[in-house]
Amino acid sequence: MTMVTAKWTIDEYHRMIAAGILSDRKVELLKGEIVEMSPDGEPHAYCSHEAGEYLSELLGKCATIRQTKPITLPNESEPEPDIAIVQRLGREYREHHPYPENIFWLIEYANSSLEKDLETKSKIYAEVGIPEYWVVNLKKLHLVVFRDPIDGEYATKFTLTAGKIQPLAFPEISVAVEQILNG
């Protein structure tokens, strides 16, 4: 017997949220499946918060930094990345979460969720054309950078432990890797 899981649309997921069905659960929608999110440990919470503050100061009015807020993707996904660097659309975000075309790049901090962030989420983000995706491996303290989405995969992947990186969306800005890794 083959087991088939029920898939949910973004609209159905929003209706569950509005009805309070998911109010006591920390979940996100990934490719039509409602997935439990790992709780944030102290290093995760500290580093992601500090990196968000750093990026906010560094990018100024160039972008909005959204921390642990949903983004809406056309592949029946509504993940909540730790940091989303998005266009400054102001009140437009009262009507919808950022769409792929509004997103400059995403950052996830991973300890227990490392496999999900490196494998599942990288494919979800590449599939919808998010140009850049960073994963901070909190166990090894290194930054995995994904770029150049092609056919549902990132064509470029490299790892940094120090130095500076220029985001694709803002090549004139240098981001200190240490600030992203350690806050």
Type of residue at 142: H
What pLDDT is recorded for position 91?
A: 92
Would you say residue 4 has pLDDT above 90? no
Token pair listed for 50: 């500090």
Distance of alpha carbon 168 from alpha carbon 165, whole angstroms: 9
Q: What is the band of 156 on the pLDDT scale with cuts at 50, 70, 90?
A: very high
CATH topology for 40-182? tt1808, chain A (3.90.1570)
The domain ranges of the chain are 40-182
Would you say residue 100 has pLDDT above 90? yes
- Quick one: three-class SS letters along the chain? CCCCCCCCCHHHHHHHHHCCCCCCCCEEEECCEEEECCCCCHHHHHHHHHHHHHHHHHHHHHCEEEECCCCCECCCEECCCCEEEECCCHHHHHCCCCCHHHEEEEEEEECCCHHHHHHHHHHHHHHCCCCEEEEEECCCCEEEEEEEEECCEEEEEEEECCCEECCCCCCCCCEEHHHHHHC
Contact status, residue 128 vs residue 101, Cβ threshold 8 Å: no
* pTM score of the predicted model: 0.94
Mean pLDDT of the chain: 94
Selection from 5-14, 38-47, 59-68, 113-122 with the highest mean pLDDT: 59-68
| Parallel/antiparallel/unpaired status of strands 175-176 and 164-165 | antiparallel
